[in-house]
Structure 1
Amino acid sequence: MRKFFALACLGSLLLLTAQAYAEEEDSDLPDWAEEEVEPFRARVGNWVDNTSRNIDAFFGGDRYNDTSTNESYLRLGQEIDWMEGEGVDGDISVRYRIDLPTTEERLRLVIESDPEESQGTLTEQGSGRLYNDQRDRRNSTFGLDWLEDRDKRENWSNRFGAGVRLRLPLDPYVRFTSERLWDIGDGPWQLESFNRLSWFNNDGYSARTEWDIGRPLSENRHLRFITNVQWREEEDTLEFSEIAEINQRLNKRSALRYSAIALGESASNPRMTNYYLQTRYRRDIHKGIMFADVIPELHFQREVSYDPRWAMTLRLEMYFQREISRDYFGR
């Protein structure tokens, strides 16, 4: 399996270079590979979807609705990561979410592999170069979320959750999330706020707020400025980041993101710990289910006296779900 994903990743990158601006089809794969991938994708995607719906029907009883929206997915990925002075790292990652939307009105049973609170410090999250479930594979959670029936464009949209992290000893948690979206005047600017307060028995409290202001620059380009502030009792340090980025769609299956990022910490004695520039090229190499990323970065880190260091990530992902999504650069 590891060799297969490594070879597929390298082969995909060759296709990226050759076809970035080529006339678009639905797939870069040769016919023989597509004939192998499609039946496998359909079987596994339907299995993921049907499994979650069957569980939901068991709990939901008469309230179960087979036509309801289902956000369950399984994602397999191969990532190769290199940082100057640190060598090469990489792994196969598996992430999943079982979403049971009809258990009760606005009550949702959720099983997921990688809760937001397990994503580490802002520095560790930073570039997103290494998946967080590669750092700790014991972060699966099982819980209930209660969602308010509100449009975040008109009111604060809140979500309350509680459950356990599935490792021994079991780690109970409580979580509150609130989101809001504003249109700024009559212009194209929008401001979005995401806020989360959590408590895990083993890790203590954590809090995070994100403010994202952006506007389209053209039909294919979008500008964003993102501010993050995070505190985790486990680290007992206030962290903050500032991000400026431009997202550009090259064609219907390729996109680029240009980012300038600054990371810092401490409230009493603020200091910057890392500045870096990042370009992320992402291509849909097969019908919205298989994606490849090339992510070069240039870092200026405080721990090495801000000497420039290069980094590079190559990534291949395959999604299994009933409904295909082409959200290239989601949260």
Structure 2
Amino acid sequence: MIFCKDALLFAGCLILSAPLMASGPESDKSLEEESHQVSQDDGGSWWQSAHQSVSETVDSWSRNIDMFLSGNKQALSNKSYMRLRFGPILSEDGADGFFDFNARLKLPNTKDRLRLVIESDGDHLTSDNETTETSRDSSVANSVANSNVSAAVRYIKKSWGADFDGGVLLAFPLNPFLRTRFSQGEQYERWRWYQQEEAFAYYTEGTGLRYKLGYAHQLGEDFQYGGRFGTTWFAQDDEIYYREDIFLKQTINERNKLLYQLSFLQAEGDDTNGNSFLYFVDYSRLLHKNWLIGHVKPQMTYEADENYRADFSLTLSLEILFGKPYLVPK
């Protein structure tokens, strides 16, 4: 009975979102014309001005840091950006919230060898054990307050397919860490594959190894399918996590996209024995220009610890992108 109830809720969310997913080029065009008319009438809005200001700040910081670290006084154009994503997660147990952000400050004067990487989930070492948003908390505000931000300088060695991170978790006491990644991949016509090997060491979180392997095939202009496999080993507790994802991406039009995904998760260790699986549909819509994106994500989760009881959740989120690539020309 519980499964039937949750399945009906899942189907209901898809039905309710159908009118949105069916939006075609004509409705998108009318929305753009309406937005353009409003901007002409009131000269823009405070949230557009705020986005413009933050994007200019991100661009200014990246150029100044680039000149400082390289010793070159010439400011080069770059594609640095900052990404925010937040919203509520609705389930039978109530409403929670999440807040994630990350930034990539690219430094072209260093011959593209350096990046400054800032992330809000700096103490989260793997995605192979995730069944929901990493920063999930009782509310969005609590998620922001409990974010464990990390800042790292990334050195990139393109000829090796490698990058090296050195940074700290910005908590008290400071938690330094090192990460090393080696990546390989090829693309042949409509097929693409990649793999990545990683080693990490955190002062308080311990050391570990991670491996990822994935492939994707472009099926026409509107569909792409593929799979991913990942495993993470934590040396401190001798725990191993495995994850397999199977996905299908559908492009409805320039503004609307769908992601269908089925995931299997496994764990081995003294306190981590158990399997789970989940499936979800992530509908995303470009709401404004190229920097404001809305997401609707109904999900069903089945965990061994809950005797594989069906657990339905609905995640609603906004994604905001800042930086020079998202600035409105003046």
TM-score bracket for the superposition, by shorter chain length: 0.7 to 0.9
TM-score by length of 1: 0.79
Which whole-Å deviations, capped at 9, do the CAs of 1:61-82 have from their partners, x for residues lacking one?
A: 22x5423423232x34331102
* Cross-structure match for 2:326: 324
Provide the rounded CA distance (Å) in 1 between the counterparts of 2:52 and 2:221. 33
TM-score by length of 2: 0.79
Provide the rounded CA distance (Å) in 1 between the counterparts of 2:76 and 2:19. 37
TM-aligned CA distance change 1:264 to 1:96, over 3 Å: closer
SS of the aligned residue for 2:316 comes to strand
Q: Using the TM superposition, give the Cα deviation of residue 163 of structure 1 relative to its aligned residue in structure 2, in angstroms.
A: 2.4
* Cross-structure match for 1:296: 298
SS of the aligned residue for 1:123 comes to coil
* Cross-structure match for 1:88: 95
Whether the aligned pair in 2 keeps the contact of 1:52 and 1:98 (CA below 8 Å) is: no
TM-aligned CA distance change 1:97 to 1:188, over 3 Å: closer
Instruction: Tell me the matched-pair count.
Output: 301
Which whole-Å deviations, capped at 9, do the CAs of 1:256-301 have from their partners, x for residues lacking one?
A: 0111111111289x96521111100001100111111000011222
24, 41, 46: which one aligns with 1:21: 24
* Cross-structure match for 1:211: 213
1:50 aligns with 2:60: yes
* Cross-structure match for 1:240: 242
* Cross-structure match for 1:10: none
87, 91, 97: which one aligns with 1:79: 87
* Cross-structure match for 1:3: none
Provide the rounded CA distance (Å) in 2 between the counterparts of 1:230 and 1:241. 9
Whether the aligned pair in 1 keeps the contact of 2:122 and 2:150 (CA below 8 Å) is: no
Matches within 5 A, 1:118-157: 118-120=124-126, 122-124=128-130, 126-128=131-133, 134=143, 137-150=146-159, 156-157=160-161
1:114 aligns with 2:120: yes
Code of the residue aligned with 1:161 in structure 2: it is D
Code of the residue aligned with 1:313 in structure 2: it is T
Provide the rounded CA distance (Å) in 2 between the counterparts of 1:88 and 1:221. 33
Identity %: 19
TM-aligned CA distance change 1:83 to 1:235, over 3 Å: farther
Provide the rounded CA distance (Å) in 2 between the counterparts of 1:112 and 1:168. 17
* Cross-structure match for 1:173: 177
RMSD: 3.3
* Cross-structure match for 1:5: none
Q: Using the TM superposition, give the Cα deviation of residue 203 of structure 1 relative to its aligned residue in structure 2, in angstroms.
A: 0.6
For structure 1, the residue ranges without an aligned partner over 5 or more in a row are: 1-12, 151-155, 326-331
Code of the residue aligned with 1:145 in structure 2: it is R
For structure 2, the residue ranges without an aligned partner over 5 or more in a row are: 1-15
